[in-house]
Amino acid sequence: MSAPRARLGVLVSGSGSNLQALLDACAQEGFPAEVACVVSNVPTAFALERARKAGVPAVVVDHKAHASKADFEKALLAALRDAGVEWVCLAGFMRLLSADFLGHYAGRVLNIHPSLLPSFPGLHAQRQALERGVKIAGCTVHFVDAGTDTGPIIAQAAVPVLPEDDEKSLSARILTEEHRLYPLAVGLAVTGKVALDGARTRVDAQTTVGESSLRSPGAPRS
Ligand code: GRF
């Protein structure tokens, strides 16, 4: 009998292309996780449509409808608990989570960020990279702590920065890698292949995690 799949709660605020990559990975036989619910703090987020289309419960917890951050996070936790969520994946979620919230899912909250951390945390990472003139950019999946994009790094993917790049073209190149990297990192984390070691992680990536999620960079999507 195959192991039960880890139940993911994906938190979103916008387009949800990384959510889509996770939904697609979860739809593959053998992938060790399923999306149990999607929660958006923005009622109009397109990510909610993606969830509904995939038959996944889509919940709005609007931060503006709550008097305090504590109340907002309480509602968020309730939505995740109602759906039996075991792991939380931030996918373009534009709110900072408190240490108190994170304590409820200790070591089980992941984020994807469009830079090679620790360079360029925070907003407009791709613009920051262009302004600084780096020649290599990329994306990072990391555990979430109470800082801004400061948690232990699980996996990274690099892309070149081309002389003619603008924010749009660089973001698109990075996003392609994000869609490959996030399912890979989630698969590793939920199967216990990622061990926290202080501020770092030790990753056993020798194992296959679902058919198409473990591919070398640049390999075509199936
Ligand atoms: C991605 O670039 C992600 O790295 C960042 O926010 C963006 C979200 O894009 N955290 P999408 O909503 O997944 O398309």
Tens of pLDDT, residues 114-165: 999 999 999 999 999 999 999 999 999 999 999 999 999 999 999 999 999 9
* Pairwise CA distance, residues 53 & 60, whole Å: 16
Look-up: residue for tokens 């909610």? 48
Q: How far does the centroid of ligand 1 lie from the alpha carbon of residue 92, in Å?
A: 4
What integer is the mean pLDDT of 205-217?
48
Ligand 1, residue 19: give the atom nearest the CA: 13
CB of residue 138 inside a 6 A radius of ligand 1 = no
Sign of CA dihedral 122, 150, 182, 105: negative
Residue 63's closest CA among 34, 101, 36? 101
Identify each DSSP E strand in 3-49 by its residue range.
Answer: 6-12, 33-40
**Average confidence score pLDDT of the chain:** 93
Is 113 catalytic? The answer is yes
CB of residue 18 inside a 6 A radius of ligand 1 = yes
CB of residue 92 inside a 6 A radius of ligand 1 = yes
6-12 β-sheet, strand order:
58-60, 33-40, 6-12, 87-90, 109-113, 136-143, 153-160
Four-point Cα dihedral 175, 176, 182, 184, nearest 10: -160
* Pairwise CA distance, residues 112 & 140, whole Å: 6
User: Is 5's pLDDT higher than 70?
Assistant: yes
User: Is 220's pLDDT higher than 90?
Assistant: no
Q: How far does the centroid of ligand 1 lie from the alpha carbon of residue 101, in Å?
A: 21
Summarize pLDDT for 18-62 with one digit per residue, the tens: 999 999 999 999 999 999 999 999 999 999 999 999 999 999 999
pLDDT at 3: 81
% the chain with pLDDT above 90: 91
| pTM to 2 decimal places | 0.92
What integer is the mean pLDDT of 196-211?
77
Q: How far does the centroid of ligand 1 lie from the alpha carbon of residue 141, in Å?
A: 12
Helices (H) and strands (E) in the chain, counts: 6, 9
Residues 6+ apart with CB under 8 A from 211: 28, 29, 30, 222
Residue 87's closest CA among 148, 29, 30, 4? 4
- For the chain, first and last CA: distance in Å? 27
Question: In Å, how far are 118, 126, 151, 174 from 171, measured between CA atoms?
Answer: 18, 6, 22, 5
